[in-house]
Structure 1
């Protein structure tokens, strides 16, 4: 029998549970049981009815929306203590109860709301918000208005603060009675408080919340923190305290700390790139060079068994000590806790309110580790990672986890490193483990790793962008987040948005050359704005003259302007800075070919092949150049080598149209046009719009008119890589055609 009722529907779900089952079944079952115990206890407390369990998810109903929200808050608090990554969605509406199940739009909306919620959060709809907006123990924040599938009207979504349990105990029905019993006492008490005491209380509250400081520092200013000076003889304190102290301070949304990477870049300009310690003098010089007024110098010393932690706040220009903070730890086990307190004192001294510090910070032992040994290994891992010593970084991260198996930051860093540099599958396993305990991280770290996971593991760019924008909402001056957002927009093809984010990054940190590289690449490959590429290439060379990429982009910009002599010079400079820069060496060989310097092109390509025997493109380009100087037999040998590899690609990627085209091209180069066309045209049958590649095949087949048709289609559909059009050895066969020149003029002006 069906029954229509107005209820609050709550969905809960454990994030990453499936991945955990695959990697640690025992831990997964333990988590599931803990989750079930928490729900069972709290549903009884708040009059909730469990409708059904769905694997690691639960569907629950409540008569009152306020009961549902209070129950959800307690569930999240309890799950956080048990390291259970839960997300919750609540919607209030009319649903249909039938037997032991429930149906209707209200159920669908709650389900979809839960699936879009962040880990560790509670999302509610506007209908629930109306029930709880006047409840003093429930704090909410409007997030967005969103359309859900099969729902006609947009749904307003709110986030519920779930950092601590609600003040009201149990079901709202019980709470009303209890509040009514207390009310007369409270009223009588208020009447007895003298007005003067109320005034004093207000003044004290304002001072605590807003505070004041005589230090010349305003919100979102920057500071430099030098390395901890260790005056004890305990080497375990080296490195470890730096990382913990900066992690703690970096939770602040009030001040900004110059990153270690930026300090390393500044040290290079100071010709101190081999320095491993940033002492007080070096920290001051970095601050002055970066135009920063304040630097902080922390120290640890020991008298008997007691440790003394101090931090001086100094003015960069004068080196005057503006304020000192001192704390004492009775033993080594207290150091992390006192370090946390020291960072909060520094933040307070710089003008950040106690209210903000209390509400925007997590304890250091939670976001890092209670083990000084593990913390030291993690710190060494970060240092090695920044200096691009990836093997050593991997070793240190693994050591940190070995010393503390619950060290979430170390798991996230190891997963990130393995995924990008060593083994993607192994990296994913560690990232999955980090995601399970994601709320142990600082907000900055949490949103960073969630974005990385979404983009690289889940292949969900939209979700990665969403997490990164949330991170920037909290930390608007975070250059790494702006750079990452630019990269995600670039991958989506939103080049104007990508450029905006990249340029914002460089306004914050002009020395992030990876960002400058992204700007140059967009102008060259996607927008064909050669003059802009030239400007940004020269800017990159100015800020990082020893970075080969700046010279590489400069060479490519000169190709776009048909200045092959200057392009050659730039590519040669990049090659002298990094002889193993393969893309640069290939482009140098292409420029030699376009200038008729075939012997030099052949020398470059043979060098590539000697160093990298698996570089199949070298065989193809050698074949092209050898044919141009009449060495047809040698050319044929290289084309045959290329064909072996192309056939292997085709066997392994039979659904990839480019594999058919490359096989068709090389067969044509070997003199068998009929076979080249037969295999190449199979790519056309797959109906994939790779027009530029079709133009290459048809150009080699000497079907120039058709090749130009496809080149025009490529340009019409947004292909903008002018530099590659000019460099490509197959497209070169079209360069003397009048129509080719007209197309280039039409789409690119007079480059």
Structure 2
């Protein structure tokens, strides 16, 4: 029958109706008159003159949801046709229908532009992979063009029942874990450990919303864009009688438009997670046929069937991430796995908490927990199981080669996913394999040119390799893609500072600050540039201003550490010690207990610089006792530094032995330089300068921090070898990009005196003493400089 400018037709089967709709649309498109078509299955009354009824009304109502040239069908129709090999559709979500008592899920039929029916899209393919034990396993891998990347924010909850507070984080976290079963979904969630969301956390922290609560919609869109997500999701939780009402909203990152809003009520939180994980896939436009076919176990099967265990797990994660309380986190995680020993993810989180806790009793529990995680790892989605295996090999067992094999398996199963490639690059960088890491980052950009952040990773690698021109090339590519981000200008500032052009560096840092006013970290970079330019008052003022803009413990630690550097350069070592202590005090609030102790040990060198080596050794002994095995062996680094400065071979040998013993237990590539540095110091004391030079150079390879520590000792070797010209060249090359390197200036003065270039020696020493105008009298290198000044200005009587 005719209905205004349209028609209504009835059929004996839904399949016939859909095929007819496709043929009509095909003819309409071919005649350049595309139309809207809708199909519904329902009861109608036909009196021979007219056809009426609810079925007619719904078909008419959903027609308005169709775009010109498309066909929409109701859920009832989709159930009848979804098993047809030549029919497929994409969910448009639940839609309210005027005059109808409940929402109806509507689907858009998938067909080609010419109007022909598209056969069901195969969005995954089966691959065979070999696991770390050499066994062959079949798995499903996603095709790149169908992968959806989503940023999921914590939900809102402001109810009176505080026992449900954990759901703000726990509900979206659960949805993420459930969604990990689908290879078409890539996720970002602010969870550092289990979901690897450190970048997300940093973006929230930078914006002043550390816990991700109450983030304004425009900022959510901005963060999702910076994380290169196609969509972002957030929602709210309400308690209505005994039911939890969950509302979720899915937005497009590209235009910020609401894709769909869903509201589901229920008492069982796990069932709600299951329902939402299905609904979210539909909202993302994942083909319904794929959703029907892909494995999708219930949340209670893959995680835990105990809500109490899950609540303890979430509270443990939140306590460790935001309160840095490992003892309290341990209790939460342990309670979770006592309730459900098969809780694999809970066991893993407990093991990681124990690993970092610096507690002997917890260490034993951690090994049991890791075994528990591995014994029940079959429950987890593949991506989580790969992650746990990686951490087991990389950190617990200290076997990076096996960790690399696990990631290679991950890549074979998810060849178009960026995540495993990022993990592989991280392993390469930690093992000082920067060329291999560069290749991975380039592969990532080859796969997805929109992953702009990896330009920054490439920049970092080339900076470490001191290839500043290539580093600048990638930094400029990032700037071209992200001209409104402060990071684009900050990284270029860093490159220019490495080149020694601090005026240009300062200019870029200031541009970064213009884009992100109030960013204390950018103020610190400006302050460091002023320090390098010799503008000491401006540098100090800039750092003092940065302190007033600190938002987080991390911000305060960064600024205090910059003050530590400032006073160290100025020779005011007592002030430097004060700010080192302040920095560590802030680090204790967010850094794990092991790294906090090691950070304190690294600052002990300052006591030796003011002649208090006994104080340094006493404090080192105290700090070493705080560390459990094998981390206590890393106190050997402190022995290496202190022993080298005071010239004590016994202390040095003890430090070298300790670090070498640690490396036998855990092969952490970034620590391999320490024994080399120690041997360099040992051979220097032994006056075996060629051997010392070899070890210093080996220890400084691809390590900027290693060069800062090693170059002064290298120059001492050249001085004692009487290779003055060689030493002068090394010193000048270093001072080109680090003009305030006071130890290098001091050694350069000695070289000039040795070759009787007294005017040049006076020039450099004058510069040095100007830097040290307020230096502590007990500073050992200041005392040395004053002796040289006296020597240079003493007029010798003729014989």
TM class, shorter-length: 0.5 to 0.7
| 3-state SS of paired residue (2:137) | strand
Partner of 2:150: 223
* 1:660–1:582 Cα change, 3 Å: same
Partner of 1:578: 556
Once the two structures are superposed, the pairs formed by residues 546-585 of structure 1 within 5 Å of their partners are 569=539, 573=543, 576=547, 577-579=555-557
Q: Distance in 2 between matches of 1:364 and 1:528?
A: 49
* 1:340–1:546 Cα change, 3 Å: same
Q: Distance in 2 between matches of 1:422 and 1:655?
A: 13
Q: Is the 8 A contact 2:129 2:413 kept in 1?
A: no
1:451 partnered with 2:390: yes
Aligned equivalent of 1:538, options 487, 490, 494: 490
| 3-state SS of paired residue (1:143) | strand
Q: Is the 8 A contact 2:565 2:576 kept in 1?
A: no
| 3-state SS of paired residue (1:412) | helix
Q: Deviations over 1:547-582 (max 9, x none)?
A: 8888889999999xx867699949984995435888
Q: Is the 8 A contact 1:605 1:621 kept in 2?
A: yes
Q: Is the 8 A contact 2:246 2:264 kept in 1?
A: yes
Q: Distance in 2 between matches of 1:269 and 1:376?
A: 28
| 3-state SS of paired residue (2:146) | coil
Partner of 1:696: 681
Once the two structures are superposed, the pairs formed by residues 18-97 of structure 1 within 5 Å of their partners are none
Q: Is the 8 A contact 1:254 1:352 kept in 2?
A: no
Task: Give the C-alpha shift of residue 363 in structure 1.
Answer: 2.2
Partner of 1:741: 728
Aligned equivalent of 2:307, options 372, 375, 385: 372
Q: Distance in 1 between matches of 2:157 and 2:325?
A: 27
Q: Distance in 1 between matches of 2:581 and 2:242?
A: 63
Q: Is the 8 A contact 2:209 2:215 kept in 1?
A: no
1:710 partnered with 2:692: yes
* 1:658–1:307 Cα change, 3 Å: closer
Task: Give the C-alpha shift of residue 445 in structure 1.
Answer: 1.5
TM-score by length of structure 1 reads 0.53
1:497 partnered with 2:484: no
Partner of 1:195: none
Task: Give the C-alpha shift of residue 415 in structure 1.
Answer: 1.6
1:603 partnered with 2:575: yes
Q: Distance in 2 between matches of 1:222 and 1:604?
A: 46
Q: Distance in 2 between matches of 1:405 and 1:682?
A: 43
* 1:265–1:621 Cα change, 3 Å: closer
* 1:409–1:385 Cα change, 3 Å: same
Q: Is the 8 A contact 1:551 1:570 kept in 2?
A: no
Q: Distance in 2 between matches of 1:319 and 1:662?
A: 54
Q: Deviations over 1:516-556 (max 9, x none)?
A: 6x8787556x5344677896893287498988888889999
Q: Is the 8 A contact 1:367 1:409 kept in 2?
A: no
Partner of 2:356: 420
1:257 partnered with 2:187: yes
Q: Distance in 1 between matches of 2:523 and 2:543?
A: 7
Partner of 1:132: none
Aligned equivalent of 1:159, options 131, 137, 140: 137
Query: Which deviates more from structure 2 when the two are superposed, residues 659-668 or residues 676-685?
Result: 676-685
Partner of 2:369: 430
Q: Distance in 2 between matches of 1:410 and 1:264?
A: 21
1:441 partnered with 2:380: yes
Q: Distance in 2 between matches of 1:338 and 1:685?
A: 56
Task: Give the C-alpha shift of residue 365 in structure 1.
Answer: 0.8
Q: Is the 8 A contact 1:300 1:310 kept in 2?
A: yes
Q: Distance in 2 between matches of 1:420 and 1:685?
A: 23
Once the two structures are superposed, the pairs formed by residues 179-218 of structure 1 within 5 Å of their partners are none
Aligned equivalent of 1:276, options 177, 202, 213: 213
Q: Distance in 2 between matches of 1:360 and 1:418?
A: 33
| 3-state SS of paired residue (1:223) | strand
Q: Deviations over 1:103-129 (max 9, x none)?
A: xxxxxxxxxxxxxxxxxxxxxxxxxxx
Partner of 2:465: 527
Partner of 2:129: 143
Task: Give the C-alpha shift of residue 454 in structure 1.
Answer: 0.9
| 3-state SS of paired residue (1:159) | strand
Task: Give the C-alpha shift of residue 232 in structure 1.
Answer: 8.3
| 3-state SS of paired residue (1:257) | strand
Q: Deviations over 1:9-64 (max 9, x none)?
A: xxxxxxxxxxxxxxxxxxxxxxxxxxxxxxxxxxxxxxxxxxxxxxxxxxxxxxxx
Q: Distance in 1 between matches of 2:210 and 2:341?
A: 34
Q: Distance in 2 between matches of 1:327 and 1:315?
A: 21
Once the two structures are superposed, the pairs formed by residues 91-490 of structure 1 within 5 Å of their partners are 141-143=127-129, 158-160=136-138, 219-228=146-155, 238-239=167-168, 240-260=170-190, 261=197, 264-268=201-205, 270-273=207-210, 276-277=213-214, 287=224, 294-296=231-233, 311-315=248-252, 322-323=259-260, 329=266, 332-333=267-268, 335-349=269-283, 350-355=285-290, 358-387=293-322, 389-391=324-326, 393-423=329-359, 424-474=363-413, 481-490=420-429
Once the two structures are superposed, the pairs formed by residues 653-732 of structure 1 within 5 Å of their partners are 665=644, 668=647, 692-697=677-682, 699=684, 703=687, 706-707=688-689, 710-712=692-694, 714-715=696-697, 719-721=701-703, 724-727=706-709, 730-731=713-714
Q: Unaligned regions of 5+ residues in structure 2, if any?
A: 1-124, 191-196, 476-486, 495-508, 548-554, 586-596, 661-672, 739-799
| 3-state SS of paired residue (1:256) | strand
Q: Is the 8 A contact 1:691 1:713 kept in 2?
A: yes
Q: Distance in 2 between matches of 1:311 and 1:284?
A: 16
Q: Distance in 2 between matches of 1:297 and 1:219?
A: 22
Q: Unaligned regions of 5+ residues in structure 1, if any?
A: 1-138, 149-155, 163-208, 211-216, 627-634, 669-675
| 3-state SS of paired residue (1:416) | helix
Q: Is the 8 A contact 1:521 1:553 kept in 2?
A: no
* 1:353–1:569 Cα change, 3 Å: farther
Q: Distance in 2 between matches of 1:713 and 1:571?
A: 40
Q: Distance in 2 between matches of 1:572 and 1:730?
A: 32
Q: Distance in 2 between matches of 1:646 and 1:750?
A: 33
Q: Is the 8 A contact 1:692 1:711 kept in 2?
A: no
| 3-state SS of paired residue (1:578) | helix
Q: Is the 8 A contact 2:180 2:186 kept in 1?
A: yes
Q: Distance in 2 between matches of 1:161 and 1:467?
A: 15
Q: Deviations over 1:174-199 (max 9, x none)?
A: xxxxxxxxxxxxxxxxxxxxxxxxxx
Q: Is the 8 A contact 1:530 1:557 kept in 2?
A: no
| 3-state SS of paired residue (2:182) | coil
Q: Distance in 1 between matches of 2:258 and 2:639?
A: 71
Q: Distance in 1 between matches of 2:230 and 2:139?
A: 36
Q: Is the 8 A contact 2:274 2:298 kept in 1?
A: yes
* 1:519–1:455 Cα change, 3 Å: same
| 3-state SS of paired residue (2:368) | helix
TM-score by length of structure 2 reads 0.50
Q: Deviations over 1:146-166 (max 9, x none)?
A: 9x9xxxxxxx9632579xxxx
* 1:749–1:390 Cα change, 3 Å: same
* 1:416–1:742 Cα change, 3 Å: same
* 1:580–1:360 Cα change, 3 Å: same
* 1:282–1:532 Cα change, 3 Å: closer
Q: Distance in 1 between matches of 2:621 and 2:654?
A: 14
Q: Is the 8 A contact 2:652 2:678 kept in 1?
A: no
* 1:677–1:732 Cα change, 3 Å: same
Q: Is the 8 A contact 1:252 1:357 kept in 2?
A: no
Q: Is the 8 A contact 2:526 2:542 kept in 1?
A: no
* 1:609–1:308 Cα change, 3 Å: closer
Q: Distance in 2 between matches of 1:285 and 1:657?
A: 45
